[in-house]
Chain A
Amino acid sequence: GQQVMQIPQYQHVQEGEDFTTYCNSSTTLSNIQWYKQRPGGHPVFLIQLVKSGEVKKQKRLTFQFGEAKKNSSLHITATQTTDVGTYFCAGRERGGTYKYIFGTGTRLKVLA
């Protein structure tokens, strides 16, 4: 079945450093979503990417969908302590399935 992997699993950065998490699907995706889960919280929807090669920005966050629609990345510029949490990608498989498969997540810690 469809698998979605993320790397790295954990990342510690100094405040002000950049951070990137990568998401790879075993199958071609119709679209991909990104979520953030703060410690002790629930996942919160950040963004959805649909088109091949699509790039979207939200302030310091840049999201990219690969040309082959099998991978995606989230880049945070100049991290802040408020960026702490686990970032999940979630892919919807191309071909009519309705469910999103969540990636394994990348836990980000930001050291002040």
Chain B
Amino acid sequence: DSGVTQTPKHLITATGQRVTLRCSPRSGDLSVYWYQQSLDQGLQFLIQYYNGEERAKGNILERFSAQQFPDLHSELNLSSLELGDSALYFCASSHDSNYGYTFGSGTRLTVV
């Protein structure tokens, strides 16, 4: 157990639907990062939050949004889902940007 909790572990949904992925960071970590990993692909940075505020944005689609709550957990919302959104979505946390990331076990999203 890495200390970063992601739920759900698996999600199957239809095109056009909306889903919410949840992440609880490791205790004491203020930063949360979201990454997308498609089959046999690298890790694409989506967005970072630090202590409740958005700090950096990557190639995140307009259909995707995220937030970090006062208790530091984060949610990634994916809407108007397309087949191409099928991927593994990782959340990671760190104390700040000078420390290595601790990744959760990911949410595998399948859009059918």
Contacts and interface: CB of A to CB of B under 8 A. Distances in A.
Contacts of A99: 33, 45, 48, 55-56, 58, 97
Given A98-B50, A102-B45, A44 B56 contact: no
Contacts, number: 60
B101 A45 contact: yes
A27 interface: no
A58 interface: no
A100 B42 contact: no
B42 A103 contact: yes
B2 A42 contact: yes
Interface residues of B, number: 25
Interface residues of A, number: 23
A4 B7 CA distance: 30
A36 to B, nearest CB: 11
Interface string A71-91: 000000000000000001010
Interface of chain A: mostly helix, strand, loop or mixed: strand
Contacts of B56: 97-99
Interface in B15-59: 31, 33, 35, 42-45, 48, 50, 55-56, 58
Nearest to A97: B56
A20 interface: no
B26 to A, nearest CB: 12
